[in-house]
Amino acid sequence: MPRETFSFFILRANKWSEWNDNVKRGGFYRFGPTVPNQKRLRAAEPGAELLFDRRTGSGVEFFSAASLGSIQETTEGNKTVFRASLPEIGFQDYTPRLHPTSFCHRQYETDYRGGATIQHTARNTSDATGDVPSTTSLDR
């Protein structure tokens, strides 16, 4: 039986970032308590859908999708860090990498006008077809 509602997150995981994410089959995604909408990700049910993007020299690319495993809170020095596990089941790498469509690109431009930064902005959007009831994006 298909689920009527589910959580869906677009997560930013740039290469060579201070977060040292290990976004791969059986890996993890790390984030801190100052990231907008991080409480929604922490409250999400296991199995929530995750789509990972990153910035490259040619723009944004989507490179993996996964299901959310467990989230653990840790302390590193004096900083709280959350670590979301990425189970092997449900993990998918995109080869070649997918670049946002012009619709997505326009949405990005619209969302970040007015002084918000791409690195620390979370936004709620819905799928253009109405099929996805709630989408949350976490950018660090």
- Helix H or strand E segment including 22: none
Question: Would the pTM of this model clear 0.85, i.e. be above it?
Answer: no
Q: How does the average pLDDT of the chain come out, rounded?
A: 76
pLDDT at 34 over 60: yes
Angle (CA) 30 36 37, round 5°: 85
In this structure, what are the phi and psi dihedrals at residue 3, rounded to the nearest 5 degrees? -75, 140
Which residue blocks in the chain are alpha helix, DSSP H?
A: 38-43, 102-112
What are the domain boundaries of the chain? Answer: 22-93
| Per-residue model confidence (pLDDT) at position 2 | 58
